[in-house]
Amino acid sequence: MINVLSKLPNISNSIFSTMTALANAHGAINLSQGFPDFDCSPKLIDLAQTYMKKGYNQYAPMPGVVQLREKIAAMVEKEQQAVYHPEKEITITAGATQAIFTAIASIIRPDDEVICFDPCYDSYAPAIDLCGGMVKTVSLLPNSFNINWDDVKKVFSHKTKLLIINTPHNPTSSTLTDFDMKQLIKLTQGTDIFIISDEVYDKVVFDGKKHISVASYPELRERSFVISSFGKIFHITGWKIGYCLAPEKLTIEFRKVHQYLVFSVNTPIQYALADFLSDEEEYRSLSNFFQEKRDFFVNALQATPFEILPAAGSYFLLANYDKISDRGDLDFTKELTIKHGVATIPLSVFYKNRLDKHYIRFCFAKKHETLEKAVENLARLK
């Protein structure tokens, strides 16, 4: 027998795989995993097919197709007043999770400390562990899920190398503000601390608010990897394509890892997206598109016993189930899936210490009929 010593001994299948499998096994409506159940734009599919038929089916350049990087640069400059050089500071990635892993791997060495904000997306900590880093967590404030910057100061040390922020936030749907960015500037100025800003839902901000990015602040931009995803905004999560913005010095290190991790990304899809981005309305309309779904779902949920928390961005919302059950959130979500036909995600899995305050996460990036059917099931709860 060969003895295998795991590098991630405490990791098993992700909660997203677990709940989706459970939903499939019991025929439940899947509001757990963050993917739409509606199609992407037919125009985008046509563009992808066109480039495939034209023979754009071999390796793309390692940093990505230049036409796409140029379109991203123009979009970011217009939206965030931030200038990134398409050749030297933008890299196309195989989705945002790969970009986050690559950024972590490019700068974290053994015993470096990384500050994450709990609850947080579940890929951060394993990537840090694999690189020998140490995760230091700061819990977001209860209910509002804002950052208490005094708490952040308390975990800083001479070993602090990186902060990972996420706005709009998954799983809580909160967003960072100008105040937060200025606090971040104060904390990091005069240091060699880096920032990874996970901004995959940057086009999905509600109620007339504007997405606040570290890219808009020169003091932060010089030390930051900004990660975004076409999969999330254009309903193509299965195409696995995203990008990383970073100043040249950081991009050089990022690409050293990127070239040996995936080397390059799907060629015809990059050309298709480059053309698709020519129509700004394709991404400018997304906030209204998803806000309509949020409002529809929130209003429908009034017929259920759940207490719904405000959702400022992303396509998730949190709900408290104290009026329904006193069971732990993992058990509750499994019961909800098996007995009531709706799959969700327990919030505790996003905490390092598995803090359980009886919150679950719904994904509302679904057809209206899907959301209606889910609410019909949930309204039967007592």
Q: Evaluate whether 234 touches 226 at the Cβ level (below 8 Å).
A: no
* Cα–Cα distance for residue pair 128/108, rounded to 1 Å: 7
The stretch 200-222 carries a mean pLDDT of: 97
Residue 16 predicted with pLDDT over 90: no
Nearest to 212 by CA among 191, 250, 185, 231: 185
Confidence grade of residue 125 (pLDDT, cut at 50, 70, 90): very high
Our measurement of the distance from residue 6's CA atom to the centroid of its chain's CA atoms, rounded to an integer in Å, reads 27
Cα–Cα distances in angstroms (integers) from residue 273 to residues 25, 39, 48, 282, in the given order: 35, 16, 8, 11
For residue 167, give the DSSP letter.
Answer: S
* Cα–Cα distance for residue pair 222/80, rounded to 1 Å: 15
Residue 359 predicted with pLDDT over 80: yes
Residue with tokens 């709900």: 319
Q: How does pLDDT run across 290-306, given as a tens digit for each residue?
A: 999 999 999 999 999 99
- Residues contacting 252, CB < 8 A, separation 6+: none
Confidence grade of residue 311 (pLDDT, cut at 50, 70, 90): very high
Name all contacts of 113-117 with Cβ < 8 Å and 24+ positions apart. Answer: 113/157, 113/159, 113/160, 113/161, 113/162, 114/160, 114/161, 114/162, 114/163, 114/164, 115/152, 115/155, 115/156, 115/160, 115/162, 115/163, 115/164, 116/163, 116/164, 116/352, 117/147, 117/164, 117/165, 117/166
% pLDDT > 70, the chain: 100
For residue 223, give the DSSP letter.
Answer: T
Range 69-91 burial, b when 16+ CB lie within 10 A, else e: bebbbebbeebbebebebebbbb
So what's the pLDDT on residue 375? 97
* Cα–Cα distance for residue pair 157/17, rounded to 1 Å: 36
Q: Give the helix ranges, DSSP H, for the chain.
A: 15-26, 42-53, 66-80, 96-107, 124-130, 149-155, 178-188, 218-221, 230-233, 248-261, 267-276, 281-284, 286-301, 329-340, 368-378
Q: Evaluate whether 117 touches 147 at the Cβ level (below 8 Å).
A: yes
- pTM, two decimal places: 0.95
Q: What is the mean pLDDT of the chain?
A: 96
Nearest to 115 by CA among 172, 155, 142: 155
So what's the pLDDT on residue 1? 84
So what's the pLDDT on residue 11? 83
Burial of 130 from C-beta contacts in 10 A (0-12 / 13-18 / 19+): middle
The stretch 318-345 carries a mean pLDDT of: 96
So what's the pLDDT on residue 33? 87
Angle at 40 between CA 229 and CA 57, to 5 degrees: 70
